[in-house]
Structure 1
Amino acid sequence: MPVVSSVKNVEALTMTFVAEFEAAVDRVWQVWADPRKLERWWGPPTWPATFETYEFKPGGRVHYYMTGPDGTRSRGWWTITAVEAPHRLEFDDGFADENFEPVDPKDTTHGVVTFEQVGDRTRMTTVSTFTSAEQLERMAEMGMEEGMRSAQDQIDALL
């Protein structure tokens, strides 16, 4: 199982996931850089993702939706804020309406993903920072921790 730890820190307003993979940093980086690979793991297995817009550069826009077992679509957006291949990716993200406009521009999180070689493995650390303890708790209640764990556990199959 790739995810080795997940920590919810209400005081720091963060949720952190650490996963390790038996692959080089460049290969793990590609599961983020290639939207077709990202589609194969972003979201829990029962909610696969489809990326409609994917501008993988600082300032780039990303629009995607996840489709639930009953056909329900949950839409999201990212604005990529930093790309330092193959070691760091940062983005703001939030929920989107049917036109991929932010549902609430103030209800965003900031994600930082880092990749480091640890022996013959790659450690991928994903930190989501929230705007408030209430937002963090709401996302936790929506199943973010379980969803992110099950999503990242799908990466091994791509590597």
Structure 2
Amino acid sequence: MTTDLLFEFTVDKAAKKVFVTREFDADLSLVWDAFTKAEILDQWTAPKPFVAKTKAQDFKVGGRRFYAMVSPEGQERWALQRYTSISPKTNFKMFNVFADKDENPELPGSDWDYTFIEKDGITKVNITIYNESLERMERLIEMGFTEGFKASLKNLENLLATLVRQS
């Protein structure tokens, strides 16, 4: 197992963007599935002690994922993701926005662009997150987005290691 995997996390306030580059010691198909299948997403996307629960997902252009981050006390924070572009096992894009329990969006949101590249069994994921407003981006960072997203990606690294060992 490779332990010196690339992990870069950069915030560019002037461009209202967050750039994340993360390598995983797993093949492209498994990493792609981890980012696109609800049953796997729910196992890693919430930073502990929160858990994720997907209410609906249709991974296709025009489709959506509607899910909640659930606190240990049972409080739910819902989010809606609409898929805008999909190039299988290479790239997908989505619009992400908080929502209420009835899927009513709380605008503004953010555009996410994921690119996947595999080399020698290591899959690199490049993520660019563009926020419609600097205020929203700063509020998310203040709420702990940076730490939470890093923790979620660590969850994914651990989950992938388990799945690779099982295969």
TM-score range, shorter chain: over 0.9
Secondary structure at the residue paired with 2:44? Answer: coil
* Deviation of 1:3 (Å): 6.4
Q: Output the CA distance in 1 between the equivalents of 2:90 and 2:36.
A: 11
Choose between structure 1 and 2: higher helix proportion.
2
The aligned residue for residue 155 of structure 1 is 156
The aligned residue for residue 130 of structure 2 is 129
TM-score by length of 1: 0.93
Superposition pairs for residues 104-119 of structure 1, below 5 Å? 104=107, 107-119=108-120
Is there any run of 5+ residues in structure 1 with no aligned partner, and where?
none
* Deviation of 1:118 (Å): 3.2
The aligned residue for residue 35 of structure 2 is 32
The aligned residue for residue 53 of structure 1 is 56
The aligned residue for residue 139 of structure 2 is 138
* Deviation of 1:6 (Å): 0.4
Equivalent pair of 1:77/1:96 in contact (CA under 8 Å): yes
Equivalent pair of 1:66/1:75 in contact (CA under 8 Å): yes
- Aligned alpha-carbon RMSD (Å): 1.4
Secondary structure at the residue paired with 1:40? Answer: helix
Q: Output the CA distance in 2 between the equivalents of 1:153 and 1:3.
A: 12
Q: Output the CA distance in 2 between the equivalents of 1:3 and 1:71.
A: 35
- Give the letter aligned to residue 156 of structure 1: E
Over 3 Å counting, the alpha-carbon distance change for 1:146 and 1:3 in structure 2 is farther
Q: Output the CA distance in 1 between the equivalents of 2:149 and 2:158.
A: 16
TM-score by length of 2: 0.88
Number of residue-to-residue matches in the alignment: 157
* Deviation of 1:91 (Å): 0.4
* Deviation of 1:33 (Å): 2.0
Secondary structure at the residue paired with 1:20? Answer: strand
* Deviation of 1:156 (Å): 2.1
Q: Output the CA distance in 1 between the equivalents of 2:14 and 2:35.
A: 29
The aligned residue for residue 165 of structure 2 is none
Superposition pairs for residues 3-14 of structure 1, below 5 Å? 4-14=7-17
**Higher relative contact order, structure no. (Cα contacts within 8 Å, ≥ 6 residues apart):** 1
The aligned residue for residue 94 of structure 2 is 91
* Deviation of 1:42 (Å): 1.1
Percent of counterpart pairs with the same letter?
24
Secondary structure at the residue paired with 1:153? Answer: helix
* Deviation of 1:135 (Å): 1.6
Equivalent pair of 1:17/1:125 in contact (CA under 8 Å): yes
- Give the letter aligned to residue 31 of structure 1: A
